Amino acid sequence: MSTPDKTPPSHFIRQIITKDVSEGKNGGQVATRFPPEPNGFLHIGHAKSICLNFGLASEYDGTCNLRFDDTNPEKESDEYISAIKSDVEWLGFEWAGDIRYASSYFDKLHGYAVQLIEKGLAYVESLTADEMREYRGTLTEPGKNSPYRDRSIDENLDLFARMKAGEFDQGSMVLRAKIDMSSGNINMRDPVIYRILKVEHHQTGSDWCIYPMYDFTHCISDAIEGITHSVCTLEFEAHRPLYDWVLDALETPSHPQQIEFARLNLNYTITSKRKLKQLVDENVVSGWDDPRMPTIAGLRRRGYTSSSIRNFCEMIGVTKSDGTVDMGMLEFSIRDDLDKNAPRAMCVLQPLKVVIENYPADARETLSVSAHPKNEAMGVREIHFTKELYIDQNDFAEVPPPKFKRLIEGGEVRLRGSYVIKCNEVLKDADGNVIELRCSYDENTLGKKPEGRKVKGVVHWVSAETAVDAEVRMYDRLFTSENPDGDKEVSFLDVVNPESLVVLQGCKAEPGLAKAQPEKPYQFEREGYFVLDGKDASSDMLVFNRTVTLRDSWAKISG
């Protein structure tokens, strides 16, 4: 029997790197990096970048650095740094050496800025922000030179030193690269490379009151670290001329190659960090790790596995064309994983009491059922059959709809892994609600078909005596719109799905689930895939999160 081909599918970045390695470029070495800004939690789009950068380094026996591009202390925090580190490790990747910080290079970056001034390629700007915007021009009209553009090198060096010393107010001056105010690429119209920001930095404290801009910092940090292939998303394509200009203008240790690929856009999802933060700040969700969030932490808490996310990222591929991936592909990936690896269990979400009238009150049978129908290696689990049971309210109907194959008065159904029971009587409360079923069981139907009749329906159940109480959180897509941010007349907050979280209390679970652990998934038979919540569950309260339904219910709704 032939072994399956595990070679990753080729894409244009692999082709570029393969050619570079074969030609001995960069000494045949490959060095990549993943450079998040620590201003929020990572989301599913970052997962694609993580898998790509770390994956390429691994394939070519190279290295991948984790570097925090921490040049904006107003929005950054140690909380985000810790979360990002945890996400990368959980996805299964290991960075080369110590964690890097752009802030570790602040001295070198400042030196490079001085070098630009000395070359006559940078100047201190005193225009206001509004005036700079006016001078910048538009996409169809060139900009015009600032009246401060021709300051002497000595004056610029003096002003920049005084900016660093804290002599000037925040916003009063910036340092700009001197490139071309008539360039067709607006990013090349004398971009700002340093600004005054009198804010404490989470790594450097109060050492600095001027901070470099991202476009200046990023390329130099890549060069300092010896990165060979600086892989980033497509929105940075227009920034590549600036990336190259800075490195060409300076005497840096190396000149990495920037390569852009299309970012991951997922329908029914928002991946703007600013808008995700708004969801958190306005309490639309419970936090960055809310299981409805597209953050890696949220997906993890919801029960997504690292392997399912890695497989999803490989499945969607790497291209130069922007597009939107259907959420169904991500859900397919986790279903495929969990169908193979999640043990089965029974949990009744909306309990309806069943009394087996012909079963002894003091009896209790222990039944062994398969932990996974397709994987004998998972063994068996024990459940209990007793006089009083619970089935789900949806598995009984007084007036059954067409093709209803569950329990009705006078009808029979099989309890999963157990006996066939018959409903003899229906008890109701004063309002006419069904509260209890009186049934009988056929003792000759354990593991075999009843004689002389055919029973089609099978329902899940638990023993009332040994069941454990649980809260079950039914999570669904956070937005009702495929493109929550697509209508500029409507706020994305207006299309939040009111059914994205439904909390069910008083659920009844089979006793083995009392030993459930966070991140260990289960298939609740006939209900979906679930995981113990790693944050809110306790020894006193089992809380399960629905990861995904057994089938794609959204396809039916939208189809």
Q: What does the buried/exposed string (b/e) look like for 392-411 if buried means 16 or more CB atoms within 10 Å of the residue's CB?
A: beebbeeeeeeeeebbbbeb
Structure tokens at 254: 């190396």
- Cα R_g (the chain), whole angstroms: 31
Q: Outline where DSSP puts E strands in 363-467.
A: 365-370, 380-385, 388-392, 412-415, 420-428, 434-442, 458-459, 461-463
| 381 included as an active-site residue | no
Contact between residue 521 and residue 306 where contact means Cβ atoms under 8 Å apart = no
Place of tokens 């959180």: 473
Contact between residue 49 and residue 316 where contact means Cβ atoms under 8 Å apart = no
Active-site entry in 37, 76, 125, 225: 37
Active-site entry in 273, 310, 335, 508: 273
Contact between residue 106 and residue 153 where contact means Cβ atoms under 8 Å apart = no
Active-site entry in 144, 263, 405, 438: 263
Cα angle for residues 192, 194, 197 (degrees, 5° grid): 120
- Please state, in angstroms and rounded to a whole number, the distance separating the CA atoms of residues 277 and 298: 13
Sign of the four-CA dihedral 262, 263, 264, 266: negative
- Please state, in angstroms and rounded to a whole number, the distance separating the CA atoms of residues 459 and 149: 78
If phi > 0 it is left, if psi is from -120 to 50 it is alpha, else beta; for residue 22 that is alpha
| 235 included as an active-site residue | no
Closest CA to 439 of 392, 388, 383: 388
Sheet holding 174-177, edge to edge: 122-125, 174-177, 192-196, 210-212
Sign of the four-CA dihedral 45, 51, 52, 54: positive
| 465 included as an active-site residue | no
Secondary structure (3-state) at 468: strand
- Please state, in angstroms and rounded to a whole number, the distance separating the CA atoms of residues 423 and 455: 13
Amino acid at 411: G
- Please state, in angstroms and rounded to a whole number, the distance separating the CA atoms of residues 333 and 304: 9
Residue 415, Cβ neighbours under 10 Å: how many? Answer: 26
The number of CA neighbours under 13 Å toward the Cβ of 107 is 3
Active site residue ranges: 37, 263, 273
